[in-house]
Structure 1
Amino acid sequence: MTRRDRVFAGLSFAFLLDEMANGVGGLDPLDALLTLAINQANIAPLTRDPEARARYGGLHAPAPDDERRPVSINAIAASLGLPFETARRRIRRLGAERVCVLSTDGVVVPSAFLASPSYLQSVMLGHERLRGFYVELRAAGLIEGMPSPTFDTDSVPVRAAARLLADYVLRASEGLMREAGNVISTLTLVALLAAALADEGRAGAAPRTLSVRSVAQKLRLSPETVRRHVSELMEDGLCARVSTGLMVTEDALARPGMRLLLAENAAAVQRLLSGLAERGVIRAWEAQES
């Protein structure tokens, strides 16, 4: 793995950790991931329609409920590697909180939630994190050739950017879950990877370590839950306990599965950036800078 690959991974995992930890609409990280997966499945047909993408790209223009395709709880559980009962229990609770609507056809995240103040605030905060991530990559010389915009817009298509970001989070989660085995272990591994690679490119930098408590606070999980999943990651050789805390070792980073994970993440980030460029988001950002 080249130094460029490591710097890229350090920036992207730090961004991914912030995105996962801050959730959606005030939801905890796991509920937020479920909501993202349901919503992305609901709008999958629309994302393949250029006219629909333009029509529902603005912050205050969620796709109406009658254009959303319901998805089964089983499909969502399978896509996230969750036990069916865990997904069912959490989705039913999300239904009671009006984050989603359950019917005999499946589950839908309704436009009412997607237009709620809490959701819109989380979208705007996520958008600023996304823009900051782009600026960091650009400053590090890690932005490659981007496609030309195919949409003409006078403003930043914030909701379109949010959909692209959600797609990235879910794609990145797939590879992470392949290595870590489940969602909570995945969240923990992202925190450890972000710390291990945080100072790549800085002279004399040493890998950072984390405590169980700091990971739990970042992810809004109980220390007991994090400790249990850290033990699983240690048994699988994905992290180790040293005198200063927990860390992802060089041996772990050199594993074939981990190298594949980093390569897949880099490809997913490139896909995200290309989508942002094609949708006109990057052009709008840079126009605001000039």
Structure 2
Amino acid sequence: MPDDADVATVLAAIDLLFDMALMARRDLDAIDNLIRLGVSQANVRQIVAHPERQLRYAFAETNPPDGARLPISIAALSRVLNLPFETVRRRTVRLCELGLLTATSDGLVVPGTMLDTPGHFEALKSVHRAMTRTFERLEQAGFFMPGDLSAPAETPAEPPLRAIGRLAGEFYLRMLAPLHAWTGDPIDAVLLLCLLRRRQGEAEMVEAEASIRLGSPAQIARELGYSSETVRRRLQRMADTGLCRRDAEGFVAPLDTIRVHLQRRLAEPSELNLRRLYRRLSELGVVKPGAGFSLPSPAGRPLAS
């Protein structure tokens, strides 16, 4: 991939998005996980918007009570996620039957008990590690400008895992619109860009045009942990719109087309949303100008880079 600032910023954003996607529940598909994230973020929108509430419910042991969560209607959720109303309605009914969502007279909520499990804590720790890796990449690339990160009045004694998770979720949802505008499906976009990132430097000449070979659906499925049919269906949909093409060995993506779309569709929102994300984290005392992530890992050990 071209190593210019715009593309580097997009790839940093996509790496973070894909890291987060890999943390999702494996017993649910990508759309179900996206719906759960949308409901969860909507439930705590009033907490994210107020710094004092963020700190009150910032830590592993300070899970917001169900009474503090704001429900969201199916119609509002379908607008936020840019998914068809009937798709959201049908899937939320099933998620409620599984106990993963609760339907109230005012809308949908994620029960607090679902956010107070060992599995959820492990996911929050993984989010923390992913945010650290992305911050270090951006800092090494000179991404942050003077004034981007604020110096907090005090640093919390432990990582505010819930607050970090909420801000990461907000970032994910803010990136849905530009990803949807690019490919017509944000999950398709994350899949394609993750493959491009992993194949960086492997461009080859295919039919006299510089292209990146993505691989066969079976190979990609093994690499990323998806089903072969899911990968095949999503890549074929992108091939139908010209973002990649299929040959006898699998799928390839034309570099020039991808580069133009990366810069036109994703460079500006990636930059804006990354700056917003890490500015909010600096306000919590999680990152400091010139000092990186200032907190130890939840286990008391340095985070892996």
When normalised by structure 1's length, the TM-score is 0.86
Cα distance change of structure 1 residues 69 and 86 upon mapping to structure 2, 3 Å threshold:
same
How big is the shift at 1:130?
1.7
- For 2:191, the equivalent position in structure 1 comes to 191
Measure, in 2, the Cα distance between the counterparts of 1:177 and 1:86.
16
How big is the shift at 1:255?
4.1
- Gaps in structure 2 of 5+ consecutive residues: 204-211, 297-301
Q: CA RMSD in A?
A: 2.6
Cα distance change of structure 1 residues 222 and 2 upon mapping to structure 2, 3 Å threshold:
closer
How big is the shift at 1:198?
4.3
Count of matched residue positions in the alignment of Structure 1 and Structure 2:
283
Say if 2:97 is the partner of 1:96. yes
Contact 2:158 2:295 (C-alpha < 8 Å) held by counterparts = no
SS of alignment partner, residue 248 of structure 1: strand
Cα distance change of structure 1 residues 272 and 248 upon mapping to structure 2, 3 Å threshold:
farther
Contact 1:58 1:160 (C-alpha < 8 Å) held by counterparts = yes
Measure, in 1, the Cα distance between the counterparts of 2:26 and 2:283.
27
Contact 2:7 2:262 (C-alpha < 8 Å) held by counterparts = no
How big is the shift at 1:61?
1.3
- For 2:120, the equivalent position in structure 1 comes to 119
- For 2:170, the equivalent position in structure 1 comes to 167
When normalised by structure 2's length, the TM-score is 0.82
Contact 1:212 1:223 (C-alpha < 8 Å) held by counterparts = yes
Cα distance change of structure 1 residues 258 and 143 upon mapping to structure 2, 3 Å threshold:
closer
- Gaps in structure 1 of 5+ consecutive residues: none
SS of alignment partner, residue 241 of structure 1: strand
Measure, in 2, the Cα distance between the counterparts of 1:161 and 1:18.
14
- Percent of aligned positions that are identical: 29
- For 2:293, the equivalent position in structure 1 comes to 285
The structure 2 residue matched to 1:180, chosen from 179, 183, 188, is 183
SS of alignment partner, residue 102 of structure 1: strand
Cα distance change of structure 1 residues 161 and 205 upon mapping to structure 2, 3 Å threshold:
same
- For 1:239, the equivalent position in structure 2 comes to 244
Contact 2:9 2:267 (C-alpha < 8 Å) held by counterparts = no
Cα distance change of structure 1 residues 254 and 124 upon mapping to structure 2, 3 Å threshold:
closer
Opposite residue 188 of structure 1, the aligned amino acid is: D
Opposite residue 285 of structure 1, the aligned amino acid is: F
Measure, in 1, the Cα distance between the counterparts of 2:294 and 2:68.
33
- For 1:31, the equivalent position in structure 2 comes to 32
How big is the shift at 1:78?
2.2
Say if 2:224 is the partner of 1:222. no
Opposite residue 93 of structure 2, the aligned amino acid is: R
Opposite residue 274 of structure 1, the aligned amino acid is: R
Which is strand-richer, 1 or 2?
2
Measure, in 2, the Cα distance between the counterparts of 1:109 and 1:260.
32
- For 1:67, the equivalent position in structure 2 comes to 68
How big is the shift at 1:232?
2.0
